[in-house]
Amino acid sequence: MKLNILTVVVLFAGSVLSHAAEYGYLSFTTTTTDIEYDDETITLNAGDRIEFTASSGFYSSIQLTMPDSSSINLSLERLAGNTTNGTLTRAQIAGPCVLQMFEQASGGLTPIGTVSYASYKITRAGTENSSSYITVPSNPSGNFELKLQTSTDLETWSSTTPGVFPYGDNAKFFRLVMETP
């Protein structure tokens, strides 16, 4: 018996897959040759993740402030994967924290009017789901069976029927299993 497993994305409360990730950008123009902070901040809650997808600016950085008010400055160019050796490896930052872009001139080298830009993708905790699909090839004979299964730990699976499910205290995972004789 052939067994194919399909992980089904189940998004509650009217969410749709396109809303699982938030996309946006930070942008500002320098008005001084000293250190300058963007007015906008990004707040990540526990479990949220951000990935910077592109950046521009001479000395653009992200200040990451933790809940205990400690902070660290990270190179935006490195976060976005623009490394000098040509390797594209994007870092992800996980919350909880607050992020703020700033431009720090190096010896007054950043000219007034420099535009700093950073695009990002945020995945909020609990909204990331993997999605895949099964293509059922045409076959003039034979049958296949689709079974819906549920789990709370992604290890132990039980058959269930489609319907309304309570939210409950535990996470719920669903998958489709296709069996062919």
Determine the Cα–Cα distance for residues 111 and 174; give it in Å rounded to an integer.
54
* Residue 119 CA to its chain's centroid (Å): 13
8 A C-beta contact, residue 173 and residue 4: no
pLDDT of residue 4: 41
C-alpha 177/C-alpha 96 separation (Å) is 36
- Whole-number Å distance between alpha carbons of 49 and 96: 9
Domains and their CATH numbers in the chain: 2-14+129-180 (no CATH), 21-123 (2.60.120.380)
pLDDT in tens, the chain (181 residues): 334 444 443 433 333 333 467 888 888 787 777 788 888 899 999 888 999 988 887 678 899 999 999 999 998 888 887 655 666 677 889 999 999 998 876 655 666 777 888 899 998 887 655 555 666 667 777 787 888 888 887 778 888 888 887 877 776 788 887 777 6
Residue 65: per-residue pLDDT: 96
Q: How many CB atoms lie within 10 A of CB 114?
A: 20
Q: Are 55 and 82 in contact (CB under 8 A)?
A: yes
Environment class of 121 (CB within 10 Å of its CB; exposed 0-12, middle 13-18, buried 19+): middle
Residue 88: per-residue pLDDT: 65
CB atoms within 10 A of CB 164: 4
List of residues 6+ apart from 95 with CB closer than 8 A:
43, 44, 45, 46, 47, 48, 49, 50, 125
Q: What is the pLDDT at residue 130?
A: 54
Residue 27, C-beta contacts closer than 8 angstroms, at least 6 positions apart: 38, 115, 116, 117, 118
Q: How far apart are CA 177 and CA 92, in angstroms?
A: 33
